[in-house]
Amino acid sequence: MPDSYVIRYGTTRNVGEFTAKGPKEFARNNLVLVRSDRGVEWGTVLCPTTTNTQDYLKSKKPHGKILRDVSSEDHQKLDEIHDSERKEFRGCQEMIRERKLKMDLVDAEHLFGGERIIFYYLAEERVDFRELVKSLAKKYHTRIEMRQIGVRDEAKLLADYGDCGKPVCCNNHLHEMPPVSMKMAKIQKASLDPTKISGRCGRLKCCLRYEYDTYKEYRKDLPPHGSTVVTQQGQGKVIAQEILTQKVTVLFEDRRQMIVDPSEILTVIKGNKKKSTKPENKKENPKNRN
């Protein structure tokens, strides 16, 4: 029987390893109560812990322990907590307005065990919220935590579905949100229209990162854009790369344009250097992969 499981928990959908005691086994998607370093929280079982999951989580020790399966009474209490969160959110917003603090409240998280309330906010500058915390603690009689987040985190908390019609990645399976650059969109020949390559957060979509490494690796086998090549049809210049099909578009000296397979290229002239492009071990075309 597994002695630990990977659990998703908290409003920000944290993922961590939690230990389990006793003969009880927990199946995927089981709803459980866990004790984390923050307190008692509601969680969902993802899978038993393995060496691969530990490497992925980059954690050397468990985040806490599984207490038990949730009960019908727990579901009722969770509904009450969600009602409390809405009231706490409005109460905090009112206090922020009264104090004229330059911060935008995004969400409130009331831990299932009641150990603390976490308020998530956006702010362009440093905010002195010490008096706000004191007032909130006095009003709600629990520990108050103010956590500043970025626009990607805001989407993780509030967004629902992306342009693909599926739940947004940041609120579904992403443990860490990877850096994304315009270079990744260009190499994949994605539209450079900001409205089409931006996610719910207004930043470049995280999914542009997923296939970037594959494109980058297969681009190495093609003559670079702008290089001069000698083919069986004559000499020309590479004006485009078709990375997934492993071909290049060549503009010949007589103004003809042709899509050429690298096997048809005899020589690549890059600057004053020449090199043969006859591959010793040509990589498998990615389109033929299963």
What is the domain partition of the chain in residue ranges?
4-69, 75-149, 154-210, 222-278
Task: List the beta bridge partners of residue 95.
Answer: none
Q: Which CATH class is domain 222-278?
A: mainly beta
- Whole-angstrom distance, CA of residue 103 vs CA of residue 88: 16
- What pLDDT is attached to residue 53? 87
Tell me the mean pLDDT in the region 76-92. 97
Q: Does the structure show a pLDDT above 60 at 286?
A: no
Class (C level, CATH) for 75-149: alpha beta
Q: Tell me the CB-side half-sphere exposure of residue 160, using CA atoms within 13 A.
A: 1
* Average pLDDT over all residues of the chain: 87
Q: What is the pLDDT of residues 200-237, one digit of tens each?
A: 888 888 888 888 899 989 888 899 889 999 998 899 99
Given this model, what pLDDT does residue 153 score?
Answer: 83
Q: 284 pLDDT exceeds 90?
A: no
- Give residue 290's pLDDT: 42
pLDDT at 32: 97
What's the mean pLDDT in 171-176?
74
Query: pTM above the 0.75 mark?
Result: no
**Tokens representing 23?**
């003969």
Q: Is 190's pLDDT higher than 90?
A: no
What's the CA angle centered on 287, arms 285 and 290, to 5 degrees?
105
Question: Cα–Cα distance between 146 and 108 in angstroms, integer?
Answer: 9
Lowest mean pLDDT among 63-67, 97-101, 108-112, 154-158: 154-158
Indicate if the pLDDT at residue 195 is higher than 90.
no
